[in-house]
Amino acid sequence: MRRFTSRLGALAATALLALTGTSTAQADGHTEAAYFNLRDVTHSNFIIKLTDPDKIREAREIIASGERKIVIGRIETRRAPYNPRWNYHYQSDTVGFTDAAIEVCDATIPYVEDHLDEVGGAFLPGRVWCPWSGHLTEEVNP
């Protein structure tokens, strides 16, 4: 039953990620990165790197409006130079923003750090993470 639940969660998380409209295509093949701070209910900060111009524009609009959107995407379980406090980061080309997400991808920033060895199984199936209590606070310089 646990294996079925894990597979069902992975399928649901993948479907939700697809619905956020993430895109990897760049019009001119040139990618410039922008970095944004995500803060959650634990007051932890997590830096997100975006490379898609549409997602960068959307993140800036979210911050300017004060709108609360859930950040969703797949995570890599290794440290990124722009986010040195944590041993994981979002895959830039999978990040999107949504109004609602399924519970199976919700976790706080420190909880993910403390359970990295479980990511991709029953915990964060498909490595999809969507911290419900997180919100973008500002654009940052890494």
Is a pLDDT exceeding 60 seen at residue 40?
Answer: yes
| Residue count (the chain) | 142
Position 41 scores a pLDDT of 97
Position 30 scores a pLDDT of 53
Position 5 scores a pLDDT of 43
Which 8-state DSSP code applies to residue 82? T
- DSSP β-bridge partners for residue 5: none
How far apart CA 125 and CA 28 sit, in angstroms, is 33
- Record the pTM: 0.78
Position 8 scores a pLDDT of 41
